[in-house]
Amino acid sequence: MLVKKIHIYKPPNGPAPFLDFMASLDEKARGKLEYALKSMALRQGRIAEPMVKHFSIERFRKLYELREKARVLLRVVFVFDSSGNIILLQPFVKRNKRDTFQALEVSLTMLADIGSRTDALMEYPFFKKPNCQEE
């Protein structure tokens, strides 16, 4: 089985936007999004619509959108690196069409930063519950 790594964008000073987004979700929504990410990493199921959308506009052609529905419409803009690994960029809750466009613009900025900094990515910490206390 081919397992791909999932990386998340980490700005130079401050927390990773994706980790903040995940922490803001309720447990059910977080679980659904984690399951979708695991499915993508394991390459199980289809990586096509409706779960994943590939943008066809030239400016955004390298970007994809992971789509999940909980009580709200959860979206994560991502790209594939040259090895086929997944890089999660801008997460958001879709309330209107402008939300997607704004997330795409932010994602392009993140991609430019990733290209200029070697420490702009971190591996996504799967299987860790945010509020677990170690004994």
pLDDT per position as a tens digit, 60-96? 999 999 999 988 999 999 999 888 889 999 999 999 9
Place of tokens 């401050």: 14
- Strands lying side by side in the sheet with 64-69: 52-54, 64-69, 73-80, 86-94, 6-9, 121-123
pTM equals: 0.86
Strand pairing report for 6-9 and 86-94:
parallel
d(CA 38, CA 98) in angstroms, rounded, equals: 28
In the chain, what are the domains? 6-122 (3.30.2310.20)
Q: Residue 126: its pLDDT value, please?
A: 67
